[in-house]
Amino acid sequence: MKRILCTLLCAAMILSVSFAFTACKKSNDKLVCGVTIFEPMNFKENGDWVGFDTEFARAVGAKLGMDVEFVEIQWSQKYLELESGAITCIWNGLTANTTETINDVEKNRSDWYDFSYSYMLNRQCVVVKADRVSEFLTVADLADKRVTAEAGSAGDSAAAQVIGEGGSFLGADSQISTFLEVMAGASDCAVVDYLLAEQLIGSGDYAGLAIAAIEFVGAETEVYAIGFKKGSALRDRVNAAILELEAEGKLREIAEKYKIAGSLKVDSSFKN
């Protein structure tokens, strides 16, 4: 009886260790990317995630032998999602060279996150109703307007600097939501990523909107990078995969598919 009991206990211990190892291995082998609906970077077709960043992440995952999962998050909560371990990284057209306010403290994003090499150029633009485009010619025209941008985004930071005391700001839960605010008349304009606006504005559901001629003069050219938790060992492995994909021409192939090859620029000098 004792021999049988001992055998059962040993078997249970082996199974316990095996399950723990499997769970650990599964966690370490999965790249969980925090994303929002942001065409052409991450969006859905027939219920499946597609887009430049989506395919980019999968290509990196293949290089690293990691499964890739996409988790839709609230952009304003991205830092908390990353810190909690709910996601491995933020892979969603994340502007790296800007500031972000967390818990009422404003810092450079590089102080909050560890960034990969940058891979895409971007800038902020102003979206308005097409029949009002003549009202928005310079940054000064935003001073007394109702401006909306995605909360916690680069557009949020840009808008905060130009609306002045006579204007008002509405933080939206996504960049797409800002378009709806403008179309409904709740906001006069939206400050969003140009790569997104270029894809959508002036056609389909957004045919009544236009990109204003306003330029944020003196603003640094924005770059996209992948955001990791501070101290992440995965960042350097991802960087190595990025350089391989660039050398193979895979990144350009994906960028051409989504018609943003002109903005593709891998910069290995950009890092924390």
H or E segment to which residue 179 belongs = helix 175-184
| Exposed / middle / buried, residue 180 (Cβ in 10 Å: 0-12, 13-18, 19+) | middle
- Indicate if 111 and 239 belong to the same structural domain: yes
* Alpha helices (runs of H) in 75-165, residue ranges in sequence order: 78-84, 109-112, 154-160
pLDDT exceeds 80 at position 6: no
Q: How far is Cα 46 from Cα 49, in angstroms, rounded to an integer?
A: 9
- Indicate if 106 and 154 belong to the same structural domain: no
Last residue of a domain, one of 185, 211, 237: 211
- Indicate if 102 and 134 belong to the same structural domain: no
- Indicate if 165 and 114 belong to the same structural domain: no
CA 200 and chain centroid, separation: 17
Each residue's pLDDT tens digit, 176-199: 999 999 999 999 999 999 999 999
* Tokens encoding 5: 């009991």
In a domain, 2, yes or no: no
In a domain, 217, yes or no: no
Each residue's pLDDT tens digit, 33-72: 999 999 999 999 999 999 999 999 999 999 999 999 999 9
Q: pTM (2 decimals)?
A: 0.82
Pick the more confident residue, 125 or 7: 125
Number of domains making up the chain:
2
- Residue 179 belongs to domain spanning: 124-211
Mean pLDDT of the chain: 89
Q: In CATH, what number is assigned to the domain containing residue 191?
A: 3.40.190.10
**Which residues, listed in sequence order, are joined to residue 129 by a DSSP beta bridge?**
209
- Indicate if 117 and 131 belong to the same structural domain: no
- Indicate if 159 and 58 belong to the same structural domain: no
pLDDT exceeds 60 at position 12: no
C-beta neighbour count of 270 within 10 angstroms: 17
Q: How far is Cα 266 from Cα 12, in angstroms, rounded to an integer?
A: 50
